[in-house]
Structure formats: C-alpha cells, structure tokens
Structure 1
Amino acid sequence: MRHRTTALLWRAGLALALVCGIGLLPWLARTDPALTVLKARSADRDPTPEVLAAIRDQLGLDEGPLTLLGRWAGGLWRGDAGRSWLSGDAVTPAVLQALGASLLLMTVALGIAVLTAGAVCARTLWLGAHRRLGDRRPGGNGGSAMLAALPEFLTASVLATVVGVQLGWLPALGWYGPRWTVLPGLALGLPAGAVLGRLLDDLLPGAFAEPWARAAAARGLAAAAVARQAVRRCLPALLPNAGLFVVGLTGGAVAVEQIYDIPGLGRTTLQAALAQDLPVLQAGTLLLLLLAACSTGAAHLATRLLIGPALRDNALPTLHRRRPPARSRLPLLYGGLLLGVVALGLPRDPLALDTTRRLRPPSAAHPFGTDALGRDLLARVSHGALDTLLLATGISAAALLTGVLLGLLPRLSGPLVDTVNAVPPVLGALLVTAVAGGGPATPALAVGVVAWAPLAAHTSALLRQERAALHLTATRGLGAGPWYLLRHDLLPAVVPPVARHALLRLPGTALALASLAFLGLGAQPPAPEWGLLLAENQPYAERAPWAVLAPAAVLALLGALAVATAGGVRLPRLRGRRDPREQQPLVGELVSVK
C-alpha cells in the first residue's frame, strides 16, 4: 500500500511539473504572449503598443504567469478549464470534443493494429502450434519491417490520394462519421501493428518451448488451443508497450490528423502550442496525461489477471531461452543495398538546381529522378542518409542504455514512463525549442526525451516475469546474491529482447525525426533530410510519385535491415556454466501439467 501511494504521488508530481512548465511556456521562450496571440488572431493587424496593451489587459497577462496558472488550476475543480485566448470560447467542451474524435480514431487504429499484428506472427503461431518451430527462428518478415518503416503521414497521403480521390471508395477529407475513420485508422494502425507483431513474434518461440506446451502437444490438444495459450502467455510482456501505443495513437497522430483534417486532441494541442493558447494547451496536455495513466493502469491490471498468483509465488517458467543466433544473409543484403545507394549519391551535388529538369522520371542521369526544383533525388537521399542514419542510430543507442538502466528501477521509471509517453514528440519539440531555442539539435532532443520510454517499460515487464521464474528461485536458495543474479540471470534474459526491440524502433526514430521535419519543426530547406524530402515532394505525389517513393523506399529498406539484424542479437554464453533454462523438463513435470 505504501509503494502504491508513493507511486501515485510521484505520478501526480510529474504531471503537475509538466503542466506548470507549459503554463510558463511563453515566458520560458522569452516571447511576448500578447504578440503571439495577436498574430494568431489577425496577422494583418499592426502590433502597436495600444493593441498589445489591450490584449494583455483582456487576458490578464500583466498579473504574471503564476497568477494565471493558479487561476486556471482553481477552475479545474469546477470542470472549468478557462477560455481560449484566441476565440474566447470555453476550453472544456472543445477539448472534450477533440478527445472524443481522437478516442474514436484510436479505437479503429488499435483494431487494425491487432489484426496486423496477428498477420505478422501467423507463421510463427502455426509452426509453434504444430511443433515445427523447435530452436529455429521463424525468420524475419521483410514485409512487416517495411510496413513498420512507412511514415504515417506518407501512408495517409497515399491512401487519401489513391483510395479516397482516384478510386473514390472512402472519404479522403473531413470527420463526419464512421466511414471517415477507415483511411486514417489504416495509416495509424498498420505501422503500429507491424511493430507489435514483431515484438510478439520474438516472444512466441520461448512460450512454445515451455513444459506446458510440450505436455499439451503430447496430450493431443488442438493446435488452435495451444496457439491461444501461447499468445496469452506472451501478452504480459507485451501489454506495457501496447499501453504506450494507445497513447501514441491518440496524442501522436498529429500528422495524420493534419492530412485528413480531423479535429483530434493531438492536432488541437499542436495548434494551441503554436499559437501559445495556454488554456487549451494545458487542458489538452492534462487529458493526455490522464489517458496515459488510465492505459498504464489497465495494462498493469490485465497483466496481473493474465499471470495470476504465479507472479506472486515466483512460480513462472522462463519465457526467454537462449537460442543460437539466426544465420541469415539478409542483413548483409539489406546493408549492402543501403550502402550502395549512399555511395552512389555521395559524389553528386544535392543542392545543384536545374529548373529545366523539374520532376523528371528516373533515368540513367538521375536514377531516382528529380524534384520540383530539378535537384537530383539520389544525391539528396544519399546526403540526407548520413545525417538521418547517424542521428537515429545515436538516439536509439542512448535510448537503449537509458531504457535498460531505468527499467531496472521500476519504482522510479514507472511513473516517469507514463508522464514522458503522454508528451507527443511534436509537443516535446515545441517545449525544447522554447527552453533551449531552435536549431538542428532540437529534433534530436525532442525525440530522445521520449524514445527511451517504451524500452524502459519493456525492460520492467520482462524483469518482473524473470524475477518470478522457478530457476531464479532455485538459484536464490543456493545462496546467490543480488549482483550475481543480475549479471548471470536477469541481464542475459532481459537485454537481448530489449536490444532487438531497440533495433525494431530504429526506423521509428528516423520516422519521428521525419515527422517533425514534415510539420516544419525539424530541419529546414535546403537540407536534404529524409523527412524534409517527403514534406517537400508530397504535393507532387500524384504527378511525380518517384519524388516521394525514393526516400520512402530507403526508409523501408532501413526497417528491413533493422528487423533482419535484430534476429541475431544474443548475449554470449557464459563459459563453464550451463543455463538452467535450457535444461529439458523432468518427466514428472510433463505428466503433472494440465
């Protein structure tokens, strides 16, 4: 009870600090809130001292940020989040309406993600249920890797153009009913489902190798029943990340909401942040924090219900067995293709303009074609790869180290993960810009601040299950100390799957940087950054699809490389010591399992 109270107070303190920081945003950015509000209300009106003084008097800005923050917080107890600085309307109804739109979109996207995850791991389920998996890895699915690496805003644009405009099957713009949720739901759900499917696919071989699965096969249970139980066994380690995806599909869907003109919470919060409409921004952030707390609580409750008393009684079989690294030439193939693209384009000038060759299709002179200004796309993709890949790799490495270290301290990291995950990268970029100023490091800081949270949640979930494993209880009984258990049992079981998870998220990190550039918060022209290339060429996608497909194909290739490489991530076997998790179960264990 004391631990739960401390965790609750820790979460409340972090949420309060974040909301207070947002309330101080204009003053931290050293900008005049009255000037920002005037530009948002009427860009043509001259900012005379009289006009600015009238706005300050109307909004009470002269009273100071602390007074405004206290007045806003005092109204929350009555359900009053104040009035918008721009429109003057009540904030609470507008924000709740935006939350309803985001929750509907999130529900549709989550359903599509579940179906996609099932399709990704279907082969592993079939092999495991029919006892044909053994110690072999099911093999990386390049299709799921490329699907996970597709930018959400690019998928949204292609679906809107092809399915909505050209074919006319579904509405391509607006938000007027269930039919309008399909295309944005696909744009959000397909990449999220591909990542969740890869995580589940990584856990299933360990579940099928446990004694209960062998006993079930020996008793002739149906393959479908064995597959269902294997999924149920793996869900506790997957649920924390599924809870993070729920929040990401709500607050992180800014680009998709912008493309489809959806009045969701992410878009509303972004617009309020750009205009420094503090009452709307604070209310939107508070709702995102509450949503993160609810989803995390639901994930913890579902984990307890799925595992039952085994977690309490330290009676779990281990889910992660040490397997030999998967031997595959796919990483060499994908890596060679990526290096070949970069090597071919580096000698070319990415800034050379030739207006007589605008939007030319691929040819011998321009293998990837040209953009709207006649610049060589191969050169721009290759030069952008250096910045994008190095930056994404550095962020992923730092996120892995931070996630593992904080995941080993769940009482500290749990509330912090909930709070950090509730902040979309876009809002994080705005906060970083306000505090540290703009610059090329702003996107990296914004993405790095939130990139470690899923890895820490994954580490904590795996650590919780591993500590309840039978072999660990036996090792404690033999007199092993905490450091010995950490080095020889916990870290070898936790680090490899989390490292594979980090590799799976490497394309996602590059996509987050690309999304910030797409929304104008990252690299600025004429930099050849991949996200900026997609943003610049998106208006010409129908006329010159190669201008968008070239950077998208390289991103998909990066995703395939990450998945293929992740399959071989293992820790070396400790010399002179046999892993008790690899020992065959006794015959009595097989007979006693029901």
Structure 2
Amino acid sequence: MTGAPLPEPAASPTATDAGVPSTARPPRPRWRQTLGLLARNPTAAVAATVLLGIVLMAVFDESLAPEGPNVIAVEDRLQPPSLDHPFGTDDLGRDILSRVILGAAVSLRVGFLAVAFALVVGALIGLLAGYYGRWVDDVLMRFMDVLFAFPAVLLAIAVLAVRGPGAGNTALAIGIVYIPVFARVTRASVLGVREEVYVRASRSVGASDFRLLTRHVLPNAAPPIIVQTSISLAFAVLAEAALSFLGLGTQPPNPSWGLMLAEGRGFIDLAWWLAFFPGMAIFLTVLCFNLLGDGLRDVLDPRQRTLMAGSGR
C-alpha cells in the first residue's frame, strides 16, 4: 500500500521576506560618521569649504595668480580695483590680487608648520605627564607653566630676536608659544582616559606602556586635541601676520598678508585697497578656522554627538 505523497516542507521565510536585509550592514568607520555629522552642521560645512578653497589657492598659487608677486609697473602704481587689477595695485604697480594669492602660501605654510611642531612636542609632553603623573607630571608641567607665563607675542619676539627674522624662524617661534597649550589640553584629556576600564584591563594582562599609550590612551584622548589644532591654526595665522607686520616675520619682497598690511598702512587714506584685501584674507581665514573648530567640538563631544545623531542633524 502506497502512502499519500508527503507534503513539501514550507519554505522558511528568508531575511528579505521578513523585511530585513539578508546581510547586516557593517557599521560605518568613526571618521566617516564624524564627517557626516560635520556636513550636517551648515556653519562648519561652509567654513570647511572656504578653508579648502584657501588651501587650494595656496597650493596652486603660481597657476592662479595673474602676475608674478614682484612684477613692477610704475605707470600702474596705486590703481584702484578694476577689471585689469581686481584688487588694485600698490605703490610700485604690483598686482594686489597676485600678492594676496601668493601670500596665502606663505601665511598658511608658517601656520601649519608652527602648529605641527607645537602639536607633536606639546602632545608628547602632555601624554607623558598625564599618564605617568607624580614627579614626571610635576617637572614637565612646571616647565610648561614657565613658558605659559610669558605673553605669547613677547615670547615669539624674544625667539626671533635670538634666531633672526624669516618665515622658518617665525614658524619655530609660534610653535614654541603654543607648546604649553597642547601640553595642557593633552594632559587633561589623558587624565580622564588613563583610568578607564579598558586601559586597566589591558594593563592587567601585561600590555606595555607604549602599547597602552599608542593603542588606547592617545586615540581616545584625541578629540580635544583635534579641536585645539583647528583653533590654534587660526591664531597661528594671526600671529604670523602680527610678526610680519612688525617686520620680524616674512621679509620683503616675499608676499605675506601681514607684511602687505604693514606696507599699506602708510597709504590707508590714499589707497584703502592696499590694506583692505590682505586684512580681509586674514579675517576670513581666522574666522573659518574658528568656526570649523566649534563644529569639530560639537561633533567630537560624545554627549553632543549623541544629541546630534538622535535629532537627525
């Protein structure tokens, strides 16, 4: 006797039928999440876009400049802004637009070099002081307090008085001024991280201090340092302009925004454009660095990050 054919087993519902993707999407890397949140902040996004344009202008300065920075045309001296010279000309007939574009490379180069030097040295000092504490903290941070006690501009002038004027020495002087700032920010951040559970767990299984510092402490202490870097870049550009204005930074005939301000102050009543356009370049760059720093602070702060992600900003 043949039995009735067995019914075919019902097909189990697939992940797609259940309305769930068949493969779980891997979480996005943190840097992509950070960029996504930063792009949702309109102020920070506009500031980052403008800064990117200024950096590209500094990189491709010679290709973008209509003329060379020191091309003299006496017959065109002190010409107001026009189609031929959108930013006008100076007392030697040099094109102000070309000098502003080429001056961006000098000002930004000095600013980036100064902040990079201060970041490396200051972060290392703050990392060691915050992690080891005790006498290491006392010795390193008291030395930082001595540097921090000097007014920033006066300390930079003192360094330049020893080393001599010039763009390289200006970057060194500004970098020395900002070492204590990075040391303090890094130390404060490390103090909050070194006693976390994951650090103590790694220490309990025999992880070396170098591994703890590089794999656990520094990456988790980095957000405040990143924000400080953006803000310090603004003040480094401003400090370079101030030192060049005083004649201690970039030397003529090389174009620099601060040097152009110094050269144009004697003609402020006769030719306003000589000081206006370099001043606006400094103002715009410093403002955008500060706005970007504010945006990074909001994005990298865990509490603000949660609120922004939850509100869909």
Interval of TM-score (by shorter of Structure 1 and Structure 2):
0.5 to 0.7
- Measure the CA separation in 2 of the matches of 1:565 and 1:433: 30
- Structure 1: runs of 5+ lacking an equivalent: 1-320, 570-578, 584-594
Deviations 1:210-251 (A, max 9, x none): xxxxxxxxxxxxxxxxxxxxxxxxxxxxxxxxxxxxxxxxxx
- Measure the CA separation in 2 of the matches of 1:419 and 1:390: 28
Structure 2 match to 1:143? none
Corresponding letter in the other structure for 2:111: A
Q: Determine if contact 1:345/1:378 at 8 Å carries over to the other structure.
A: no
Structure 2 match to 1:423? 150
Structure 2 match to 1:348? 67
Structure 1 match to 2:93? 374
Structure 1 match to 2:228? 501
Change over 3 Å in CA distance of 1:348–1:506 after alignment to 2:
same
When structure 1 is superposed on structure 2, of 553-562 and 359-368 the one drifting more is 553-562
Structure 1 match to 2:121? 402
Aligned residues: 254
How many percent identity over aligned positions? Answer: 34
1:512 aligns with 2:239: yes
Q: Determine if contact 1:359/1:544 at 8 Å carries over to the other structure.
A: yes
1:537 aligns with 2:264: yes
Q: Which runs of 4+ in 1 moved over 6 A?
A: none
Query: Quick one: higher RCO (CA 8 Å, sep 6+), 1 or 2?
Result: 2
- Measure the CA separation in 2 of the matches of 1:336 and 1:357: 29
Deviations 1:99-152 (A, max 9, x none): xxxxxxxxxxxxxxxxxxxxxxxxxxxxxxxxxxxxxxxxxxxxxxxxxxxxxx
Change over 3 Å in CA distance of 1:372–1:407 after alignment to 2:
same
Q: CA deviation at 1:454?
A: 0.6
Structure 2 match to 1:230? none
1:325 aligns with 2:52: no
Q: Determine if contact 1:463/1:490 at 8 Å carries over to the other structure.
A: yes
- Measure the CA separation in 2 of the matches of 1:393 and 1:549: 24
Q: CA deviation at 1:520?
A: 1.9
- Measure the CA separation in 2 of the matches of 1:322 and 1:467: 23
2:253 to 523, 526, 534: 526
Q: Determine if contact 2:203/2:212 at 8 Å carries over to the other structure.
A: no
2:176 to 431, 445, 449: 449
**What value does the CA root-mean-square deviation take over the aligned residues?**
3.7
Deviations 1:524-575 (A, max 9, x none): 3322111111111123335433322212222233335535665569xxxxxx
- Measure the CA separation in 2 of the matches of 1:323 and 1:497: 18
- Measure the CA separation in 1 of the matches of 2:227 and 2:62: 27
TM-score, structure 2 normalization: 0.67
- Structure 2: runs of 5+ lacking an equivalent: 1-29, 40-44, 130-136, 307-313
Structure 2 match to 1:463? 190
Q: CA deviation at 1:514?
A: 1.4
Q: Determine if contact 2:110/2:168 at 8 Å carries over to the other structure.
A: no
Change over 3 Å in CA distance of 1:466–1:528 after alignment to 2:
same
Change over 3 Å in CA distance of 1:366–1:403 after alignment to 2:
same
Structure 1 match to 2:274? 547
Q: CA deviation at 1:408?
A: 1.1
Q: CA deviation at 1:508?
A: 1.1
- Measure the CA separation in 1 of the matches of 2:296 and 2:153: 33
Q: Determine if contact 1:507/1:555 at 8 Å carries over to the other structure.
A: no
TM-score, structure 1 normalization: 0.38
Q: CA deviation at 1:477?
A: 8.7
Change over 3 Å in CA distance of 1:322–1:497 after alignment to 2:
farther
- Superposition map of 1:47-196 within 5 A: none
Q: CA deviation at 1:509?
A: 0.9
Q: Determine if contact 2:110/2:170 at 8 Å carries over to the other structure.
A: no
- Measure the CA separation in 2 of the matches of 1:439 and 1:562: 24
Q: Determine if contact 2:147/2:177 at 8 Å carries over to the other structure.
A: yes
Change over 3 Å in CA distance of 1:525–1:487 after alignment to 2:
closer
Change over 3 Å in CA distance of 1:401–1:457 after alignment to 2:
same
Corresponding letter in the other structure for 2:119: L
Corresponding letter in the other structure for 1:324: Q
Change over 3 Å in CA distance of 1:362–1:434 after alignment to 2:
closer
SS at match of 1:365: coil
Change over 3 Å in CA distance of 1:352–1:338 after alignment to 2:
same
Change over 3 Å in CA distance of 1:446–1:487 after alignment to 2:
closer
Q: CA deviation at 1:426?
A: 4.3
Change over 3 Å in CA distance of 1:439–1:451 after alignment to 2:
same
